[in-house]
A = this chain, B = another copy of it.
Amino acid sequence: MTTEGPAGLPMTVPATDLPDRVRIHEVGPRDGLQNEKTTVPTEVKAEFIRRLAAAGLGTVEATSFVHPKWVPQLADAEQLFPQVKDLSAKAVRLPVLVPNERGLDRALALGAHEVAVFASATESFAKANLNRTVDESLAMFAPVVARAKEAGLRVRGYVSMCFGDPWEGAVPLHQVARVCTALRAMGCDELSLGDTIGVATPGHVLELLSLLNEEGVPTPALAVHFHDTYGQALANAYAALEHGVTVFDASAGGLGGCPYAKSATGNLATEDLVWMLRGLGIETGVDLAALTATSVWMADHLGRPSPSRTVRALSRKES
């Protein structure tokens, strides 16, 4: 099998006024694997992270220090992190999710350089995911962010359900902005705007980005995290790019929810994003053939084909 695409394709034709370079925040090992039914052995996860880094991904979210009871797929965080930590000496950023101070303690003990907290824009999801109100969850994060910053760590704040909520439907933009500005006030360096159920469309994305700018959150502090549940992820990414966003969350091979299952979440596939960015002449540092080969290798471990269209297209050549 080769994962090289047709020679000379995509043709590189830049569009005007787009960034020259973007950073991909790879979430496959964390957001991807935590939503897969198959539990992957620790050594395979470590190899996955190493392969992603070798394919040129400079930021790979490695795992989550959440209580194993809630996310059994990532119960091996303590074993996994030391197996990949040396990558950070090679300038690969390895953020980890920390749900609370206990999680932060575990991450600090292992020498993590970068952590993320996971907030919700809606009451329903805060209740479902954190068993707290939005304000209670923000109060829980405040000391996590403060202590992480004191320890010299970089801190990312995830904001989920920014564009729609399965229980509440439409989510008012000012409600999203309130959570975002609260996380920024705590000290979060970067906010990742999550379309957790994949319902956003480009105008909605642009409106939220503009509102956040007006509320004092500059574009360089914003990342976008799209899901492909309704096939909108890449169009939304393109709209965000036009707004000037330079940090894009994506999951290698589209890991993170089988498109056939009811629980499907469908992360934007890193390969589909890289194909577009390559065509636009925007630098990512990623070797698409090596990344695709990595996703095919992981799909074999999970026993099902990758939902990424680019992975399927590239890996079926001469297979």
Residues of A within 8 A of B (CB): 5-15, 18, 163-164, 166, 169-171, 197-204, 206-207, 228-232, 234-235, 237-239, 259-260, 262, 264, 266, 269, 272, 275-276, 278-281, 305, 308-310, 312-313, 316
Contact A15/B202 with A231-B309, A232-B275, A234-B234 known, Cβ cut-off 8 Å: yes
Q: How far is the CB of A65 from chain B (nearest CB, A)?
A: 31
Decide yes or no: A235 and B6 within 8 Å by CB, A203-B14, A206-B15, A229-B309 being known contacts: no
Q: Are A231 and B6 in contact (CB under 8 A)?
A: no
Name, among A5, A204, A316, the residue most crowded by chain B CB atoms within 10 Å (CB to CB). Answer: A204
Contacting pair A6 B230 (CB below 8 A): no
Residues of B within 8 A of A276 (CB): 201-202, 232, 235
Cβ of A268 to closest chain B Cβ, rounded Å: 9
> B201–A164 contact, CB under 8 A?
no
Please tell me which one of the listed residues B10, B170, B234, B238 contacts residue A11 in the complex, with CB atoms under 8 A apart: B170
Q: Given A8-B170, A203-B13, A203-B14, do A237 and B235 touch, yes or no (CB 8 Å)? A: yes
- Across the interface, A312 reaches (CB within 8 A) one of B9, B199, B259, namely B259
| Cα distance, A10 to B313, chains bound together (Å) | 29
| Smallest Cβ-Cβ distance to A197: which chain B residue | B6
Shortest beta-carbon distance, A259 to chain B, in Å?
A: 6
A199 to B7, alpha carbons, bound, how many Å? 11
Say how far A203's CB is from chain B's closest CB, in angstroms: 4
A164 surroundings in chain B (CB, below 8 A): 6, 8-11
Whether the Cβ atoms of B272 and A230 lie closer than 8 Å is yes
Give the Cβ gap from A172 to chain B, nearest Cβ, in Å: 9
Complex-state Cα separation, A207 to B11, whole angstroms? 11
Contacts of A239 in B (CB 8 A): 15, 238
Question: Could you tell me if A170 and B313 are in contact, using CB atoms closer than 8 angstroms?
Answer: no
Q: A201-B280, A231-B309, A234-B235 are in contact. List 17 more A-B contacts (CB 8 A).
A: A5-B199, A6-B164, A6-B197, A8-B169, A12-B203, A15-B202, A199-B279, A200-B279, A201-B279, A202-B280, A231-B269, A232-B275, A235-B235, A235-B237, A235-B238, A235-B276, A264-B313
Query: For A206, what are the chain B residues with a Cβ–Cβ distance below 8 Å?
Result: 13, 15
A-B contact pairs, 30 of them (CB 8 A): A5-B199, A6-B199, A8-B164, A9-B164, A10-B163, A10-B201, A10-B204, A11-B163, A13-B207, A15-B202, A15-B203, A18-B203, A198-B309, A198-B313, A201-B279, A202-B276, A204-B279, A230-B272, A230-B309, A230-B313, A231-B272, A231-B310, A232-B234, A232-B275, A232-B276, A234-B235, A235-B238, A235-B276, A238-B238, A259-B309
